[in-house]
Amino acid sequence: MAGEIFSLIRMPLIAFVGGFLVVGGWIWAPELWRMVHSQFSGGSSVSMFAGANRIGRPEVAPVVRTCFSKVMDDLGPDVKKMEPSAAYFILKAGSMQANVSAMLGKERGESPAAHLAYAWGELASCIYALEDRALCDPDNRAAAVETTAKFFGYAKQAADSGAKSMVPGNDGRAIENIRDRLLLMLKNHRRYGTLVAADFGSFAPAEIMQVMRSEQKETRDICKR
Amino acid sequence: MDFLKRAAFVLGGIFLGINLINYFVMGHTGDYLPGGERMGEWRAAKIREACYPALESPERDGLLPKLSTDTHRVDWRDLDRARDMTAALNCYLVTHPNAVCERNNRAYIVDYINRYFAKFDEMMNTAKRYGEAEMSTVRKLWDSPRNRAINAALLQDTSSGRLIKADFGWSVPTAMKPMLDRYNGTNDNCPKA
């Protein structure tokens, strides 16, 4: 089946990329030539991946391993038996599915955004509740960044769709509580130097960037101790 | 002159782009293996379908790679891939020891051996970032009874000339170089049809 699909799209794909190369190459050839030349001639260049070592792979983070079993009770016993990196992937895949459903225009009130916000928020809360220096590890830091960003993203979606009543425990304030807790944790970790604004990239939810970019009188880097 | 530069860039880009897509996106690495009498068409290899049953439920096979510790940084997708590749290569080389004698099968198996060692190298490179303990975990993962059987079969196939250095072209796996060099020039002992 997959082979058939590949054979079907192979030629159009090659034609598309070929076309892109023809047009793009014609327009950008002189610039690319100069850029490649400057890279190999010892000229000054700025790394496109500055600070890339700060963020690792969230799915294999030890904090995910520790926290997943604690906070994912409602996913059932099968998920508990899984490798945590696989369970994390499933949560991400579920989130993607929810995004697709939202794009396809599901009715108001059916949005699973509140459930997802709750799940990601609980996971993020558990990660921040561990030792502060745990976030010095790039994988752990990546997990903290991703879970926080996902929480705020889905919390906004849930607020927009008015689906607060779907939060487990029938407590409409659960998400607000998690939000307050996470914002406080973000402030702390910003002060410790374990998290910086650049860790969240350019498209992070506004609430996160507000905290991460706010003026801070004193900061220290506990990872350098 | 400027026109020629642009035209050369575009044509070179098309040629390079098509081959890069074929190699990296389509994953048809077998297309870039050497041809000749010994190597057939990897797409026509019958061993591939013959070994489908071995890949049906690798989790039931206790001799396949498994993690020796809970404290590791191995992604589950890498773990699954390591299991699948070991199960497949074990079937190609150990369960069907004469499969490599048929030229289409040989092309497919050589390509698969390259992928097998490339996956191991990739996982080891990832593990390097985490230090010796993680590297040891990955090494142990790839040292299951099935992996050891594959290594023995590879040694057997190279010593008997069923696999030679020329079959691999420019992409000889580092782990196989010593044995391929050692038995270079050996005539194969494949059963004659």
What does A80-92 look like in DSSP terms, one character per residue? Answer: HHS-HHHHHHHHH
Alpha helix (H) residue ranges in chain A = 2-40, 62-71, 77-81, 84-103, 113-129, 138-161, 174-192, 206-213
> How is residue A78 written in tokens?
């099968």
Average pLDDT over residues B32-50: 90
Average pLDDT over residues A174-193: 90
Q: Select the residue of A6, A60, A89 nearest B74 (Cβ to Cβ).
A: A60
Give the Cα separation of A110 and B30 in Å (integer).
48
| pLDDT at position B165 over 80 | yes
Tell me the torsion sign for CA atoms B118, B122, B125, B131.
negative
What pLDDT is recorded for position B140? 95
Nearest Cα of chain A lies from the Cα of B13 at a distance, in angstroms, of: 6
Give the Cα separation of A3 and B142 in Å (integer).
29
Residue A17 CA, chain-centre distance (Å), reads 29
Average pLDDT over residues B88-94: 96
Which residues fall within 8 angstroms of residue B9, CB to CB, at 6 or more apart? A25, A29, A32, A33
Contact residues on chain A for B10, CB-CB shorter than 8 A: 21-22, 25-26, 29
| pLDDT at position A31 over 80 | no
Q: Which of A:169-208 have CB within 8 Å of B?
A: none
Q: CB A62 to CB B21 under 8 A?
A: no
Percent of chain A with pLDDT over 90: 20
ipTM value for the complex: 0.74
Chain B residues with at least one Cβ partner in A under 8 Å: 5-6, 9-10, 13-14, 17-18, 21, 25-26, 70-77, 79
Give the Cα separation of A161 and B125 in Å (integer).
45
Nearest Cα of chain B lies from the Cα of A105 at a distance, in angstroms, of: 32
**Alpha carbon separation from A110 to A122, A134, A161, A165 (Å, rounded):** 21, 37, 9, 11
Percent of chain B with pLDDT over 70: 99
What pLDDT is recorded for position B169? 86
| pLDDT at position A161 over 60 | yes
| pLDDT at position B64 over 90 | yes
Predicted confidence band of residue A35 (pLDDT cuts 50, 70, 90): low
Predicted confidence band of residue A36 (pLDDT cuts 50, 70, 90): low
Residue A24 CA, chain-centre distance (Å), reads 31
Predicted confidence band of residue A47 (pLDDT cuts 50, 70, 90): very low
- Give which of A139, A117, A121 is closest to A129, Cα–Cα: A121
- In a 3-state reduction of DSSP, which class is residue A216? coil
Residues, chain A:
225
Q: CB B18 to CB A18 under 8 A?
A: yes
Does A54 contact B at CB distance below 8 Å? no
What pLDDT is recorded for position A41? 39
> How is residue A139 written in tokens?
């994988």
Give pTM, 2 decimals: 0.75
Give the Cα separation of A135 and A148 in Å (integer).
13
Q: CB A29 to CB B76 under 8 A?
A: no
Alpha helix (H) residue ranges in chain B = 2-20, 47-50, 76-90, 103-128, 132-141, 145-159, 165-168, 177-182
Q: CB B14 to CB A21 under 8 A?
A: yes
Alpha helix (H) residue ranges in A130-173 = 138-161
Contact residues on chain B for A65, CB-CB shorter than 8 A: 70
| pLDDT at position A48 over 50 | no
Nearest Cα of chain B lies from the Cα of A131 at a distance, in angstroms, of: 17
Best of A5, A11, A16, A21 to mutate (most B CBs within 10 Å, chain B):
A21
- Work out how many CB contacts closer than 8 A connect A with B: 53
Nearest Cα of chain A lies from the Cα of B187 at a distance, in angstroms, of: 37
Residue whose tokens read 């050692």? B182
Q: Select the residue of B13, B21, B73 nearest A25 (Cβ to Cβ).
A: B13
Q: CB B13 to CB A86 under 8 A?
A: no
Residue A116 CA, chain-centre distance (Å), reads 13
Q: Select the residue of B10, B72, B74 nearest A25 (Cβ to Cβ).
A: B10
